[in-house]
Amino acid sequence: MLDKISLLEFGPEELKEELASLELPNFRFAQIPRWYFARKAGSISEMTDLPLTLREKLAEKYTVFAAEMLAHRKSDDGTEKLLLQWPDGHRVECVLLRDDRNHRTACISIQVGCAMGCLFCASGLDGFVRNLTRGEMIEQILRLNQLLPKTERLTHLVIMGTGEPLLNLPSLLSALNAVTSQENLDISKRRVTISTVGLPQGIEKLADAEVSYRLAVSLHAPNDVLRNRIVPQNRHTGIQKIMAASDYFFEKTGRRVTFEYVLIDSLNDSREHAQELTALLRNRTAIVNLIPFNPVQGLPYKTPSPTATRDFAETLQNNGIDMKIRFRKGNSINAACGQLRRSWKESKE
Ligand code: SAH
């Protein structure tokens, strides 16, 4: 039997084309997406204001959710994580984060695995498998939205799960366009952050797409010698080109870029590193997001001591660099990128 096709793969016009042979009246093309975007339906059978015959007809070939939910973990701090398996057997993780400002944030994956090979990251340890489709990205968002009570919906979206978003940009933009549109989930475009390893051409493309999403760049080191080691992709680009592309993004969009910096004990966390980072960012409108390393099983790296983290942060602050420390969430459910997928793999296979 052929796998059913998810309706989430189709934008409004594509859906009309796809279902043309059913000769549906126009209002059905608003009614059907409203079920999965606004009314939190995950299947065609829930669409109770469609005639039963139409539901049956649609269900022969289509579905809403394509994945099987293999795991649903909840952490004491309100973080929830899903492990989804697509019909081809590949798996991805996505996370719902709650905070005390009432933000409800979805973090989704963009690819199965990752080709970037960052030294400290669990997502890339098993290499790259494939890009996710538009529908697969939307499905993660809708499934996380379903975890919220009926009256609540997602307020923020971070494209910070597994994979490099700028290498799957057309599908990602199509998915984001769907969930940010007013008649669907209506997540504000300014509340969507795309986090990249730092691909200059991709950053420029994103700026040129004029879509108002925020950009975060995973810098992790203030000079090329160290960055080549921590983020091997840097050997192809170098920091200067990334900074130039980020400057272009800021000029074009007026949105300041976030530079993420994972602090790893004795690797990139010294006062000298903080000073070098300051020099790199001094004349730029930017903010630094410090992320104390979240331990990954099998990797030798350590989280810096709270004192080292505070020292690093203070050096930036004393030099006038805006910064935030990103505290860890969902520790007890392997919420760091790729760790649930990996631990599942190890324990079940
Ligand atoms: N692929 C995207 C999104 C990655 S996840 C990117 O490279 O930007 C978001 C951030 O968490 C990135 O900056 C990533 O480098 C960082 N990260 C990955 N593994 C981590 C770990 N074990 N501890 C702390 N931060 C980590």
- Residues 99-121: tens digit of each pLDDT: 888 999 999 999 999 999 999 99
CATH of the domain at 179: 3.20.20.70
Asked if residue 80 and residue 52 are part of one domain, the reply reads: no
Cα separation, 138 vs 221, in Å, equals: 33
233 lines ligand 1 (CB under 6 A): no
Q: Using the structure block, give the residue that is written with the tokens 């795991």.
A: 71
Q: Specify the residue with its C-alpha closest to ligand 1, atom 18.
A: 121
Are the CB atoms for 99 and 161 separated by under 8 Å? no
178 lines ligand 1 (CB under 6 A): no
Distance (Å) from CA 256 to ligand 1 centroid: 19
Q: Mean pLDDT score of the chain, rounded to an integer? A: 94
Catalytic residues: 93, 337
Mean pLDDT of 255-277: 98
- Residues 47-106: tens digit of each pLDDT: 999 999 999 999 999 999 999 999 999 998 899 999 999 999 999 999 999 988 899 999
166 lines ligand 1 (CB under 6 A): no
Question: Which of 206, 264, 337 most suits a substitution to test ligand 1, by most atoms within 8 Å of the C-beta?
Answer: 337
Asked if residue 116 and residue 10 are part of one domain, the reply reads: no
Cα separation, 215 vs 202, in Å, equals: 11
Cα separation, 109 vs 95, in Å, equals: 9
Look at residue 268 and tell me whether its pLDDT is greater than 90. yes
Asked if residue 53 and residue 77 are part of one domain, the reply reads: no
Asked if residue 301 and residue 191 are part of one domain, the reply reads: yes
Distance (Å) from CA 195 to ligand 1 centroid: 8
Last residue of a domain, one of 42, 63, 84: 63
120 lines ligand 1 (CB under 6 A): yes
Cα separation, 292 vs 315, in Å, equals: 16
For the chain, give the percent of residues with pLDDT over 70.
Answer: 96
Q: Using the structure block, give the residue that is written with the tokens 């969930």.
A: 179
**Res 290: pLDDT:** 97
Asked if residue 115 and residue 35 are part of one domain, the reply reads: no
262 lines ligand 1 (CB under 6 A): yes
Asked if residue 294 and residue 342 are part of one domain, the reply reads: yes
Asked if residue 205 and residue 301 are part of one domain, the reply reads: yes
Distance (Å) from CA 158 to ligand 1 centroid: 12
Last residue of a domain, one of 27, 46, 63: 63
| Total domain count, the chain | 2
Look at residue 250 and tell me whether its pLDDT is greater than 50. yes
Any idea what the Cα angle at residue 93 is, between residues 88 and 97, rounded to 5°? 155
**Res 147: pLDDT:** 98
Are the CB atoms for 257 and 215 separated by under 8 Å? yes
Look at residue 330 and tell me whether its pLDDT is greater than 80. no
Last residue of a domain, one of 26, 46, 63: 63
Look at residue 345 and tell me whether its pLDDT is greater than 80. no
Asked if residue 271 and residue 194 are part of one domain, the reply reads: yes
CATH of the domain at 55: 1.10.150.530
The residue ranking higher by pLDDT, 326 or 131, is 131
CB atoms within 10 A of CB 14: 12
Mean pLDDT of 183-201: 96
Distance (Å) from CA 199 to ligand 1 centroid: 15
Asked if residue 80 and residue 54 are part of one domain, the reply reads: no
Asked if residue 51 and residue 179 are part of one domain, the reply reads: no
**Res 349: pLDDT:** 47
CB atoms within 10 A of CB 226: 17
- Bridge-based pairing of strands 68-74 and 286-292 is unpaired
**Res 34: pLDDT:** 96
Domain region containing 216? 68-348
Distance (Å) from CA 293 to ligand 1 centroid: 9
Mean pLDDT of 329-341: 68
Asked if residue 82 and residue 46 are part of one domain, the reply reads: no
Asked if residue 86 and residue 26 are part of one domain, the reply reads: no
Cα separation, 237 vs 246, in Å, equals: 13
The full DSSP string for 292-304 is E----TT----PP
Question: Which of 81, 110, 231, 260 most suits a substitution to test ligand 1, by most atoms within 8 Å of the C-beta?
Answer: 260
